[in-house]
Structure 1
Amino acid sequence: MVGLLCLLLSSVALAERHHIVIADTQLQTQIDGDLSDPLWQHATVVDLTLQNDPGENTPAPVRTTAKVIANAETLYVAFIAEDPDPSRIRAQLTDRDKIWGDDLVGIKLDTWDQARLAYQFFVNPYGVQLDSIENELTGRESEAWDGIWQSAGQITASGYQVEIALPLRLFSFNDRLDEQRWGIELVRFYPRENQYRLSATPVSRNQSCRLCQMGLATGLAGAKPGQQLQLTPSLALSRHESRPTPDDEWRRDDSVEPALDLRWAITPDTLLNATINPDFSQVEADSGQLDVNTTFALYYPEKRPFYLDNADYFETLRNLINTRNLASPEYGTKITGQRGKHLFGLLQTKDEKTNFLVPGNLSSSIAELGQSSDNFAARYLYDSTASWSLGSIASFRSSKDYQNSVVGLDGQWEITAQNKIKALYVRSETRYPDFLRDQFCGGDTPCDQPDKVECSFGDCDYNEQVLRLPVGETLKGDLLRVALYHNSRHLFGYANYERIDEAFRADLGFIDQVDFAKGAIGGGYIWYPQDHFFHKIQLGGDVDRSENIAGEKLEEEIEFSGFVAGRNELFVELYGGLREIAGRRQDASNLALKDNAPMFDETWLGLYGELRPVKPLKFGANIRIGDDIDYANNQLGEVFQINGWVNWKPHASISLNASHIHRTLDVPGGQLFAADLSDLRLHWQFTVRAFIRMTAIYTQLERDPALYRYNRVDRHSERLSAELLYGYKVNPQTVFYLGYGEGQFSDDEFRDLSSDSRTLFAKFSYAWLL
């Protein structure tokens, strides 16, 4: 009965879909923002008459006209975006993918019409591009994907207009059809007193699936995507100098690193990627993170094009494939594709370093194997295109005396338009080399049988990871996650359960906690006031409990939050909670929690807000006060943290992004530490292609050594990392970079900031489209 109801609902939805017939042409056009070319006289015209947000399918406040037409090689899209006051148009000449917040027009395309993945292409009034892939399974949008396409824009007396050319080689689709049937949505973002989202397609808040609500585009008869053969050779040159202290001599390392990427559509629905010596290119510094009073490893996103292309194919409910773990790959191959209802992906890489996480339930650390490894990942997903999907995931890492394998199943069932269930089950098998444990031991601490020697808190030179690396054993463990979601117009809720065995490892992924089971339930209510300063109000909360696999409590927590969103991009959220949480173990040689890890009662309160008072300026701040564990001394302290940020665009070519974090922790006896992190990024874009960027990340840590009962620490430490970069981009793969970076530090011995590293580097790459 439920299946029949879903089928009927799907049929009704299909019948009501906004339908666009893409006009055919033999003509081509120059992409310059001028819409007087003959090609546009024959295009299909679509008016964007609806406002999806903040109103729900109410009349659009301004007129927007889109035009769509295609020839055998290219899909062309144009927008005429009228504006009653063009002086209020927000547009920045900046690097690609950095234009959120500007006036934007764009198109979303689901080339298989299966409501699972959608390409997104947006352009601001200056023609600056943003592209991404929206994944319905994970609910995330990835801006990491970069396609090679054309766009141009012009600001006019009545608004602005944009031209877009999307080569069909960008897409995978079924070329065996007489006529294509693609999901489509034409969108305009109109940021004024509100951030308006305009479209030709109605979007219901009473349906959780967004891609299911896209319109239907037909046409492109006989379309062929071509072989999409792309060769991108590159050359990275660098001179790196370093020294341990200011009293030491500089050590120099010159590097010449050639690389080659290949991208080839073997068939219209199967893509081959290959790479030799991919690199990070040092062109964009990771965002600064405070690594103080933490017990779990920090996460950093992937940036290398080879691993980013079609990375969505490998995503599941958990991060089981995290290619940032591949620290120094020699070469790699990847095949991804989709044939009808079947999606698949294969990834192979040779890594020279082999780094991975060693997780526990109270901490995690990175281990370095120091030898090359073979790495392999596989993904398969069957998408019924109705209401369910079922897939499998696998990964393997192996080296001398080391092996990790992960195999599992995942699936999703959309029970109704408002309710869905997702599940993941994975099993792993791991064997570590005997010497790996030594990385986490030190001093006179015995490392051969650490669980046989009592080691009280503060007297151990090793941590939890020593006990998570048994010698001569093969670890076998499971991961299970089940989640139920409800999303309707006013109500949202979820319930999930996750269990990860103590012996589970996903060394090619980012699973930083094991040996725990957690259940959580939460939800809330949303109001949408009409014709009011506030256009959205939400209240919600959740409760959860975590235990180790032996049933001992790790954490029990209650959280609440509420926010209002209104004009001028105002957003204010109040949040807080209380929990009972385990501290560090008193006897580090024993993994038990009961009568070993003290439980602490924490209460906290936070306030977050952001606002755009005038067009070129937006700022925000987050304040948090309450309790926090002092992990160095295993006691409860009081934390105060404020994060502030500002985005300022004083000129159409210049933007400044600055953020600052200030955190203090007070404990019995005084202030344990005060930490500050400043992240400053100044961007000057000369043209759509050329820019200069300056980045500076500054960290300062002041501590009271007398309050650290078990560790010797510096009273003062500073770190400054700065980089100046010139870039010229013809497209995302045809680039030239020239930059200089320097790192400086100070501590109790060297009080003044002194350089300990400096790097001069250049990179050239060119994408040949064959």
Structure 2
Amino acid sequence: MSHAGSAGQFSLQVPYHADAASIDGDLSDPVWQHAAVATLNYETRPAENAPAPVVTEARVYASETTLYVAFSAKDPNPNAIRAHLRPRDDIWGEDLVGLKLDTFNNARLAYNFFVNPLGVQLDSIENELTKEESKAWDGIWDSAGRITDEGYEVEIAIPLSQLSFEDKPGSKQWGFELIRFYPRNTEHRLSSHKISRSNSCQLCQLGVVSGFEAVDLGKGLQLTPSLVAKGSREREQAPDSEWQDDNNVDAGLDLRWAINPSALVNATINPDFSQVEADAGQLNVNSNFTLFFEEKRAFFLDNKDYFDSQVALLHTRNIADPDYGVKFTQKSENHTLAFLGTNDNGSHFLVPGNLSSTVASLDEESHNLAARYLYTSSEALAIGAVVTGKKSDNYHNMVVSADVKYQPTAQDTLIAQLATSDTQYPDELYRDFCRVDGDCLQQVPCNSGDCGVNERVLRTHKDGAFGGEMYKLGYKHATRNYYLRADYESIGEDFRADLGFIEKVDQRRAVAGGGYVWYPEQSWFNEVELGGDWDVTQNQNGEQIEQEWEGFLVAEGGWQSFWGTGWVTRDRVGKRLDGSSLAIEGNTTEFTETRVWLESSVAPVTWLSAGVEIGFGDEIDIANNRLGDSLDVETELELKLTDSLALELNHNYYALDVDDGRLLTANLTDVRLNWQLSVESFIRLSSIYTHIERDPSLYLYQTPDRLSEDLGTELLYGYKLNPLSVFYLGYGDNMVSDDTYPGLTRTEQTLFMKMSYAFIL
């Protein structure tokens, strides 16, 4: 197999030294004199492989257990350095130094480690297969930094036990890049070597670091016991309702065993999978589709990227309340294998459709499994398979899939994925989605067009087991200045991926588009892109659901800014006129929407960043099946009030007008105040307030509440020695209001404590 990283790009021989560096941000430790030295001589963005504007020197060496890296980052104006005490993984936009490490040197996955001048860490996994970078992975490693009269210095120690690699005898060669982000009027990306914009594969362009002849991972064991205590109470919305108390204390244990450097076992017993930090607020108005929430739980995140394919067949937030779980991942130069198995005290899954989706929940314990295999014969070819399964007493879903990604040239990428599923729902599941009491299917047909039956009823009313298929094809040609792409996806009406997040079925979608990119020099703008696409979506009977044309113009420039505008014109169908039929033609009304959007974000100074997204124009009023006009404004503001105190404010405003007036106005405000007491500890106050006001007289088929409000608040103290050694103490509550009970009424209260400690053996 050819290697992705090339010594022609950059080469560094890592010396061995037994002594550990003292990780305190002070590079005067004598051990650094034994390290290999490299300089970051190139600016790869926004300039194209131009000489770096500032001097950055890196030193690298390794012991049997640890990789050590130190940076000396010179700055002609140290007062302009952007550095704050921030939560871990929340330091983009600040001065950073770090490294990219492809330990199998096959251009599939790379570890990213970054540190700001105060020692705050950010780590992630970069996946060349999906072109995504995920901050979900959290390794246990050490760092420290300090600002000096000449710039800043950073020290990093990465235990080799945190990395997966093939432990062959002798010297090892890993893909490698040293990186510095230098944000001033624009954000300069500095590198140890040149990066070509004519090559769409980023990990194919790494340099090579050699060494690591002697590796000692010890026992490879990491044990993390945890204790969770929670007291909560709930009541109905009526102010005189009785509180129902619930108190519990749970102990759990997580195990991480590196059998060898390339094979890892994770296991958990009685885990606490409650989330410590509240999800970001999302408005869910004038939409029939389910909201997506990111996974944040540690057990699922370790080597999460090993399960990824072109289609979202695994979304572990569908596993809500497990008692136990086990995960095995193994990676070699050519082969990647991953397996996950857990129980769940309930069964939760998406019920998809082509005009709506929802979540179904069964009060039955389920057993869940996922497996992934990927074969890479070179950096150009990857062939894989995915299997997922979810089963309870009266329900099951299994998916089998195969996928391929082929890059015949540095500019061309082809992808394909085929999947088949087998599913069985409980016989009475469809009744959960009836809009009338009793069995709504007994009232079909009816003349009113609405007998309590809807798409969710019809998608879940199945006789015995049923199967479906889906496939996806894609091609992209990308050069330095232009790109062309074409995609086609077909998802059968009976295809289900209940352990994943596929919310649309019974549709075929074709997309064709492209764009042109300029890289102006000596200009306030440093990158400008003009592009667009055409797409058409039909159901499996060939009936059109949507046809769309869109174009956009976006640019990056000074003040670390982004500017964009675009338009879209689409023909799209509204709700079904007769809910007892899944037909599109003759059963829906087609509307033409024309919308314009504007977007901008800036970070002109170190203590301020702000952004706004505005969309306006025609939009279907889904509830009433008519065309309206909407305005959607999303704003975000971050104020770093001091080096350790930051305020984040996000507000979403949405208004929908119809011919006779304002149908609804919705506001969502998400406020978070974070006081970072040190790199390890913080106090955070979060509040999410949703206010929706409707005019019931303008609704044609229902009479909703005029007003609904929801206010959730959380106060949290946290101490994180590392991502797994933590102490949390917090309080949260929730208040609601509607027409029946106006005025916010507290309905939930929770006081919780969690502690865990990772023992590395």
Under TM normalisation by the shorter chain, which class is it? over 0.9
Q: Show the counterpart of 1:311.
A: 304
Q: Secondary structure at the match of 1:14?
A: coil
Q: Show the counterpart of 2:139.
A: 147
Give the Cα–Cα distance (whole angstroms) in 2 for the partners of residues 199 and 420 of structure 1. 26
Name which of structure 1's ranges 206-215 and 706-715 shifts more when overlaid on structure 2. Answer: 706-715
Aligned AA for 2:22? Q
Q: Show the counterpart of 1:37.
A: 29
Q: Indicate if the aligned counterparts of 2:107 and 2:379 stay in contact, CA closer than 8 A.
A: no
2:677 corresponds, among 675, 681, 686, to 686
Q: Indicate if the aligned counterparts of 1:227 and 1:268 stay in contact, CA closer than 8 A.
A: no
Percent identical across equivalent pairs? 48
TM-superposed CA distance for 1:399, in Å, is 1.2
- Residues 1:73 and 2:68 are matched in the alignment: no
Q: Secondary structure at the match of 2:6?
A: helix
Give the Cα–Cα distance (whole angstroms) in 2 for the partners of residues 186 and 455 of structure 1. 69
TM-superposed CA distance for 1:226, in Å, is 4.2
- Alpha carbons of 1:456 and 1:277: their partners in 2 closer, same or farther (altered >3 Å)? farther
Give the Cα–Cα distance (whole angstroms) in 1 for the partners of residues 230 and 3 of structure 2. 59
Q: How does 1:112-191 map to 2 (within 5 A)?
A: 112-191=104-183
Give the Cα–Cα distance (whole angstroms) in 1 for the partners of residues 481 and 354 of structure 2. 36
Q: Show the counterpart of 1:482.
A: 473
Q: Secondary structure at the match of 2:697?
A: helix
- Residues 1:200 and 2:206 are matched in the alignment: no
TM-superposed CA distance for 1:446, in Å, is 3.3
Give the Cα–Cα distance (whole angstroms) in 2 for the partners of residues 525 and 734 of structure 1. 48
Give the Cα–Cα distance (whole angstroms) in 2 for the partners of residues 320 and 262 of structure 1. 26
- TM-score (normalised: structure 2): 0.98
- Alpha carbons of 1:13 and 1:317: their partners in 2 closer, same or farther (altered >3 Å)? closer
Give the Cα–Cα distance (whole angstroms) in 2 for the partners of residues 90 and 174 of structure 1. 38
Q: Secondary structure at the match of 1:282?
A: coil
Q: Indicate if the aligned counterparts of 2:525 and 2:557 stay in contact, CA closer than 8 A.
A: yes
Give the Cα–Cα distance (whole angstroms) in 2 for the partners of residues 199 and 455 of structure 1. 69
Name which of structure 1's ranges 243-252 and 78-87 shifts more when overlaid on structure 2. Answer: 243-252
Give the Cα–Cα distance (whole angstroms) in 1 for the partners of residues 476 and 60 of structure 2. 37
Gaps of at least 5 residues in structure 2 are none
- Residues 1:556 and 2:547 are matched in the alignment: yes
- Residues 1:101 and 2:113 are matched in the alignment: no
Give the Cα–Cα distance (whole angstroms) in 2 for the partners of residues 350 and 634 of structure 1. 42
TM-superposed CA distance for 1:532, in Å, is 1.1
TM-superposed CA distance for 1:75, in Å, is 0.6
Give deviations 1:645-699, integer Å, cap 9, x for gaps: 1011121101111110110000121111000000011100111111100100000
Q: Secondary structure at the match of 1:434?
A: coil
TM-superposed CA distance for 1:220, in Å, is 1.1
Q: Secondary structure at the match of 2:164?
A: coil
Gaps of at least 5 residues in structure 1 are 1-6
Q: Indicate if the aligned counterparts of 2:440 and 2:451 stay in contact, CA closer than 8 A.
A: no
- Residues 1:51 and 2:52 are matched in the alignment: no
Q: How does 1:280-359 map to 2 (within 5 A)?
A: 280-359=273-352
Name which of structure 1's ranges 438-447 and 279-288 shifts more when overlaid on structure 2. Answer: 438-447
TM-superposed CA distance for 1:12, in Å, is 11
- TM-score (normalised: structure 1): 0.97
Q: Show the counterpart of 1:728.
A: 719
Aligned AA for 2:397? N
TM-superposed CA distance for 1:13, in Å, is 8.1
Aligned AA for 1:408? S
Give the Cα–Cα distance (whole angstroms) in 2 for the partners of residues 373 and 294 of structure 1. 29
Give the Cα–Cα distance (whole angstroms) in 2 for the partners of residues 302 and 462 of structure 1. 33
Give deviations 1:583-636, integer Å, cap 9, x for gaps: 110000000100001111100001101112322101111111111111111111
Give the Cα–Cα distance (whole angstroms) in 2 for the partners of residues 238 and 13 of structure 1. 49
- Alpha carbons of 1:541 and 1:445: their partners in 2 closer, same or farther (altered >3 Å)? farther
- Residues 1:615 and 2:606 are matched in the alignment: yes
TM-superposed CA distance for 1:449, in Å, is 5.3
Q: Show the counterpart of 1:409.
A: 402
Q: Show the counterpart of 1:632.
A: 623
Give the Cα–Cα distance (whole angstroms) in 2 for the partners of residues 513 and 279 of structure 1. 32
Q: Show the counterpart of 1:658.
A: 649
- Residues 1:237 and 2:223 are matched in the alignment: no
Q: Show the counterpart of 2:386.
A: 393
Q: Secondary structure at the match of 2:428?
A: helix
Aligned AA for 2:76? P
Q: Secondary structure at the match of 2:161?
A: helix
Q: Secondary structure at the match of 1:651?
A: coil
Q: Indicate if the aligned counterparts of 1:648 and 1:656 stay in contact, CA closer than 8 A.
A: yes
Q: Secondary structure at the match of 1:312?
A: helix
Q: Show the counterpart of 2:499.
A: 508
1:599 corresponds, among 590, 601, 608, to 590
Give the Cα–Cα distance (whole angstroms) in 2 for the partners of residues 111 and 14 of structure 1. 13
- Residues 1:768 and 2:759 are matched in the alignment: yes
Give the Cα–Cα distance (whole angstroms) in 1 for the partners of residues 515 and 192 of structure 2. 30
Give the Cα–Cα distance (whole angstroms) in 1 for the partners of residues 7 and 653 of structure 2. 55
Q: Indicate if the aligned counterparts of 2:74 and 2:151 stay in contact, CA closer than 8 A.
A: yes
TM-superposed CA distance for 1:228, in Å, is 2.4
Q: Secondary structure at the match of 1:160?
A: strand
Give the Cα–Cα distance (whole angstroms) in 2 for the partners of residues 753 and 448 of structure 1. 38
Give the Cα–Cα distance (whole angstroms) in 2 for the partners of residues 285 and 340 of structure 1. 39
Q: Indicate if the aligned counterparts of 1:323 and 1:508 stay in contact, CA closer than 8 A.
A: yes
TM-superposed CA distance for 1:582, in Å, is 1.1
Give the Cα–Cα distance (whole angstroms) in 2 for the partners of residues 711 and 227 of structure 1. 64
Give the Cα–Cα distance (whole angstroms) in 2 for the partners of residues 443 and 15 of structure 1. 69
Give the Cα–Cα distance (whole angstroms) in 1 for the partners of residues 417 and 491 of structure 2. 11
Give the Cα–Cα distance (whole angstroms) in 1 for the partners of residues 331 and 681 of structure 2. 36
2:514 corresponds, among 496, 505, 523, to 523
Name which of structure 1's ranges 11-20 and 62-71 shifts more when overlaid on structure 2. Answer: 11-20
TM-superposed CA distance for 1:469, in Å, is 1.4
Q: Show the counterpart of 2:205.
A: 213
Q: Paired residues, what number?
A: 760
Q: Secondary structure at the match of 2:31?
A: helix
Give the Cα–Cα distance (whole angstroms) in 1 for the partners of residues 253 and 755 of structure 2. 11
Give the Cα–Cα distance (whole angstroms) in 2 for the partners of residues 353 and 235 of structure 1. 23
RMSD over equivalenced CA pairs, Å? 1.4
Give deviations 1:192-246, integer Å, cap 9, x for gaps: 0110000112111000000000110111112244442111111111111111122
Q: Indicate if the aligned counterparts of 1:178 and 1:221 stay in contact, CA closer than 8 A.
A: yes
TM-superposed CA distance for 1:369, in Å, is 1.3
Give the Cα–Cα distance (whole angstroms) in 2 for the partners of residues 521 and 292 of structure 1. 30
Q: How does 1:427-442 map to 2 (within 5 A)?
A: 427-442=420-435
TM-superposed CA distance for 1:444, in Å, is 4.2
Q: Show the counterpart of 2:365.
A: 372
TM-superposed CA distance for 1:463, in Å, is 2.1
Q: Indicate if the aligned counterparts of 1:170 and 1:225 stay in contact, CA closer than 8 A.
A: no
Q: Indicate if the aligned counterparts of 2:569 and 2:594 stay in contact, CA closer than 8 A.
A: yes
Q: Show the counterpart of 1:671.
A: 662
Q: Show the counterpart of 1:110.
A: 102
Aligned AA for 1:186? L
TM-superposed CA distance for 1:366, in Å, is 0.4
- Alpha carbons of 1:176 and 1:449: their partners in 2 closer, same or farther (altered >3 Å)? farther
Q: Show the counterpart of 2:78.
A: 86
TM-superposed CA distance for 1:445, in Å, is 5.9
- Alpha carbons of 1:166 and 1:12: their partners in 2 closer, same or farther (altered >3 Å)? closer
TM-superposed CA distance for 1:18, in Å, is 0.7
Aligned AA for 1:351? D
- Alpha carbons of 1:455 and 1:373: their partners in 2 closer, same or farther (altered >3 Å)? farther
- Alpha carbons of 1:305 and 1:11: their partners in 2 closer, same or farther (altered >3 Å)? closer
Q: Secondary structure at the match of 2:462?
A: coil
Q: Indicate if the aligned counterparts of 1:410 and 1:423 stay in contact, CA closer than 8 A.
A: yes
Give the Cα–Cα distance (whole angstroms) in 1 for the partners of residues 78 and 451 of structure 2. 67
Give the Cα–Cα distance (whole angstroms) in 1 for the partners of residues 334 and 457 of structure 2. 45
Give the Cα–Cα distance (whole angstroms) in 2 for the partners of residues 15 and 211 of structure 1. 14
Q: Secondary structure at the match of 1:28?
A: coil
2:736 corresponds, among 726, 745, 761, to 745
Give the Cα–Cα distance (whole angstroms) in 2 for the partners of residues 444 and 148 of structure 1. 54
Q: Show the counterpart of 1:544.
A: 535
